[in-house]
Amino acid sequence: MEYHNIYIEEENYLATITIDRPKKLNALNKATIEELHEAFKELDADENIKVVILTGSGEKAFVAGADISEFAHFSVKEGGKLAAKGQEMLFDFVANLSTPVIAAVNGFALGGGLELAMACHFRVASSNAKMGLPEVSLGVIPGYGGTQRLPELVGKGRAMEMIMTAGMISAEKALAYGLVNYIVEQEELLPLCEKLASKISNNSSVAISQAIKAVNAGYSFNTDGYAAEIEAFGACFGTDDFKEGTTAFLEKRKADFPGS
């Protein structure tokens, strides 16, 4: 697929996806969502890629929201379809991707931008980052999973306050809330994400994909997370990575997983 709103850089085990709509502060429109879906699908199928970093172009914004001009005239039915399709195509797709995804939040992450960052497996922010869900100021609510993922990450009370006030929080507050794992200066953002990706890449990709599945199961309303963990734990025993990891441990050497 030819990409117009994003670009991908690959080096060894790592792929970096950059949303590239700087004049729109990298706002998500329909075309960008479709391109991101295809990019994540393509990279997840590539056995050589062990980690994906997602970021925005420039230093102002990760993603400053959705492109409101595309849906300002929508009906009730069209609005519901927009949220359902977006969640399935991108936000839930990223959250359940078997390849780890790190959000490098380089500036504003608002509305759909924060929802996209929260769909990633964890987040690192630049010191100038600002995060929020301002949808109620437009007469609507977050529709790409924000009302569910934000309480999971920061707690119900804080999520309610952020959503109802439509305000932005600083990177420092996001760190205190547990919304991001680290804050660094802008120039250190990608290097830190790459360092974390390197640590992840040393481990079993097969086990990591099972861990993602088990952790996510605990937040699913119709899944027993403990049962999912037992199933995923057992599945690991049938893999070459398990044989290599345990053999390496017993032989007191570093495990040599594929691609590590």
**Which DSSP category does 88 fall into?**
I
Task: Give the 3-state secondary structure of residue 109.
Answer: strand
So which residues are the catalytic ones? 115, 135
Q: 230 pLDDT exceeds 80? A: yes
| 67 band by pLDDT with thresholds 50, 70 and 90 | confident
Q: What is the pLDDT of residue 152?
A: 97
Q: 253 pLDDT exceeds 70? A: yes
Residue 231 near residue 217 (C-beta atoms within 8 A): no
Residue 108 near residue 139 (C-beta atoms within 8 A): no
Q: What is the mean predicted confidence (pLDDT) over 218-228? A: 92
Crossing angle of helices 240-250 and 205-217, in 10° steps, is 110
Average pLDDT score over the chain: 96
Q: 166 pLDDT exceeds 70? A: yes
CA distance 224 to 67: 37
Residue 16's nearest CA partner among 130, 102, 124 is 102
- Give the total residue count for the chain: 260
Q: What is the pLDDT of residue 221?
A: 84
CA distances in angstroms from 168 to 6, 20, 68, 173, 193, listed in the order given: 26, 23, 18, 10, 24
